[in-house]
């Protein structure tokens, strides 16, 4: 049973759009939900150790490409760093589960990212990292 949800989002406009346009837009009215308009990386960095049974991270892409095909790292890349994964691991309870957006196998350019993030998760201490 869900006892409490901390929903962290950097952009309040995203939340307002969801409330207005999606059938599940009243999810934030549930008294078990606390909405934090905040930097997700800072929130996790400051979270108590072992506090969460489940963490779901659905974040922006960590990089994009220029018209010339050069990779450009985005500010959201911090959410894919080994340091951030370490904070997530610390915030989870011993039997906790972490789920996050990890790109798609359908785009060859994403395969390296998936491989790197899986490696970082395992290096951080996660026992399993499956796609």
- CB distance 14 to 59 below 8 Å: no
Residue 43 CA to its chain's centroid (Å): 11
Torsion angle of the four alpha carbons 124, 110, 77, 43, in this order, in degrees rounded to the nearest 10: -60
**Catalytic residue check, 58:** yes
Backbone dihedral region for residue 15 (phi beyond 0: left; psi -120 to 50: alpha; all else: beta) = alpha
N-term to C-term CA, the chain: 26
Question: Which of the residues 29, 58, 61, 110 is marked catalytic?
Answer: 58
Tokens describing residue 56: 């779901």
Q: In the numeric block, which tokens belong to residue 110?
A: 């994403």
CB of 47 within 8 A of CB of 87? yes
- Annotated catalytic sites, by residue? 58
């Amino acid at each position: 049973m869900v006892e409490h949800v901390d929903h962290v989002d950097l952009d309040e406009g995203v939340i307002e759009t969801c409330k207005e346009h999606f059938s599940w837009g009243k999810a934030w009215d549930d008294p078990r939900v606390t909405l934090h308009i905040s930097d997700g990386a800072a929130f996790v960095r400051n979270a108590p150790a072992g506090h969460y049974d489940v963490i779901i991270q659905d974040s922006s892409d960590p990089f994009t490409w220029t018209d010339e095909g050069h990779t450009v790292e985005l500010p959201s890349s911090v959410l894919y760093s080994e340091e951030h994964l370490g904070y997530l691991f610390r915030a989870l309870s011993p039997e906790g589960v972490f789920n996050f957006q990890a790109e798609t196998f359908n785009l060859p350019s994403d395969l390296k990212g998936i491989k790197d993030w899986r490696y970082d998760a395992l290096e951080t201490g996660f026992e399993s990292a499956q796609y």
